[in-house]
Amino acid sequence: MNAVATANTDRPPLLEVRGLRMHFPITEGVLIGRKLGEVKAVDGVDFAIRRGETLGLVGESGCGKTTTGRCILRLERPTAGEVRFNGVDILALEGRELLALRRRIQVIFQDPYSSLNPRMKVGEIIAEPIRVHGIERDAARRARRVGELLSVCGLDPKFADRYPHEMSGGQRQRVGIARALALEPEFIVCDEAVSALDVSIQAQIINLLEGLREQFNLTYLFIAHDLSVVRHLCQRVAVMYLGRIVELAASDELFDNPLHPYTQALLAAVPVPDPEVEGRRGFRPLAGEVPSPINPPPGCVFHPRCPMAVADCQRTRPELREIRPGHWVACSQVDPPAWREAFAQSSVGRKDGKIPVVSS
């Protein structure tokens, strides 16, 4: 399968995920630990992210977004698959090499409150990674660096002396971002980084994340359930359902021309802040609930809820196919249009069937 093929031909992507699987065993009994089954949290995921790009990972709770992020952060040891960072398989790294990797990949979590140590002052929280990694041993210079990081994130350097509980949610999220930036990472996993914030504050943090991306040439994996935020912030978007990617495309292409029935239902479910548009929209919500990842349905995992399902969907698991350049869909009912054949015949087409990225 070549779902990773969004990569540019001459330069490897910054991050490449192939065949990622994370199955958590469900065991019974503390000592014997008899295995009763497994939760297929991530079940064969492929994608790539180019340097400087933001890839959105969306889907409903339990679809495997966070677990995918945790595998990339080496917080989880995947059951199978590869995660390459700058071409190096990071799942094999240990010791010093792993420590070096941890500097380059950072994370921003959803809940700024629970991810910040309540007994540490903001200054200590941000200085900690700098100290732990032995980057700046001089305390005064470390403090200056903390001040810089705070101002980059739009906070007065005086906040260094405060405790997290003395700050608002938006301010705490800025502290979380400053801490993530402390080690000058190349890549940041943002896991629901703006979801807990109020609308007016959310916009401030989104702008901050965008500004930092430009300023420091950062690359983000942006995990979120808010599709409007994802459309705004991401160049490309992957939609997950029950541990799998069902659709992946450039952001505007995905939102204007969704091809997978699940993506279509997901987009229709989100109300737009405009009564006139809503008055015209009319929709029928998707029936049923997301099935359990312990016993996912056979064939296409979406078939029990799918309005387009045919008999074969119960048997055959659809692979991600490139239906248009850069637009990947895992659905047997979506037909590749005729241009694809034409394209394959032409001189631009490649023998291996991969298509160089045209749009992004």
Partner 1 sequence: MPPLLEVTNLSTEFRTGLGTVPAVDGISYTVDRGETVAIVGESGSGKTASALALLRLIPDPPGRISGGRVLFNGRDLLRLSDAEMREVRGGDIGMVFQEPMTSLNPVLTIGRQITETLEQHRGADRITAHHRAIELLGLVGIADPLRRLKQYPHQLSGGMRQRIMIAIAIACDPKLIIADEPTTALDVTIQAQILELMKSLTRRLDAALIVITHNLGVVARYANRVNVMYAGRIVESGPAQAVYHHPGHPYTMALLRSVPRLDRPRQARLDPIAGQPPDLTRLDGGCAFRPRCRFAVEACARRRPAMAPTRAAGHFAACLRSDEIAVATEVAV
Shortest Cβ 168–partner 1 spacing (Å): 5
Nearer to partner 1 (CB atom), residue 274 or residue 312: 274
Nearer to partner 1 (CB atom), residue 31 or residue 199: 199
Is the Cβ–Cβ distance between 93 and 101 less than 8 Å?
yes
Task: Please provide the DSSP assignment of 166-221 as one string.
Answer: GS-HHHHHHHHHHHHHTT--SEEEEESTTTTS-HHHHHHHHHHHHHHHHHHT-EEE
Nearer to partner 1 (CB atom), residue 84 or residue 305: 305
Q: Alpha carbon 91 to chain centroid distance?
A: 18
Shortest Cβ 10–partner 1 spacing (Å): 27
Alpha-carbon torsion 344, 349, 355, 360, what sign? Answer: negative
Nearer to partner 1 (CB atom), residue 95 or residue 273: 273
Task: Give CA–CA dist 288/120, Å, rounded.
Answer: 45
Task: Give CA–CA dist 222/276, Å, rounded.
Answer: 31
Nearer to partner 1 (CB atom), residue 130 or residue 259: 259
Residue type (1 letter), 130: I
Nearer to partner 1 (CB atom), residue 4 or residue 116: 116
Residue with tokens 């933001």: 54
Is the Cβ–Cβ distance between 319 and 334 less than 8 Å?
no
Nearer to partner 1 (CB atom), residue 187 or residue 262: 262
Chain residues binding partner 1 by CB under 8 A are 60-61, 168-171, 198-204, 206-207, 210, 225, 227-229, 231-233, 251-252, 255-256, 265-278, 281, 283, 285-287, 289-290
Shortest Cβ 271–partner 1 spacing (Å): 3
Is the Cβ–Cβ distance between 48 and 13 less than 8 Å?
yes
Is the Cβ–Cβ distance between 49 and 84 less than 8 Å?
no
Nearer to partner 1 (CB atom), residue 101 or residue 267: 267
Q: Phi and psi at residue 329, in whole multiples of 5°?
A: -140, 135
Residue with tokens 């505007």: 252
Residue with tokens 């950072």: 106
Nearer to partner 1 (CB atom), residue 129 or residue 326: 326
Task: Please provide the DSSP assignment of 88-120 as one string.
Answer: EEGGG--HHHHHHHHHHEEEE-S-TTTTS-TTS
Residue type (1 letter), 351: K
Shortest Cβ 268–partner 1 spacing (Å): 8
Shortest Cβ 273–partner 1 spacing (Å): 4
Nearer to partner 1 (CB atom), residue 142 or residue 305: 305
Q: Count other Cβ atoms within 10 Å, centred on residue 178.
A: 23
Q: What are the strands of the beta sheet with 327-329, ordered from one edge?
A: 105-108, 187-191, 219-224, 54-58, 236-241, 244-250, 327-329, 321-324
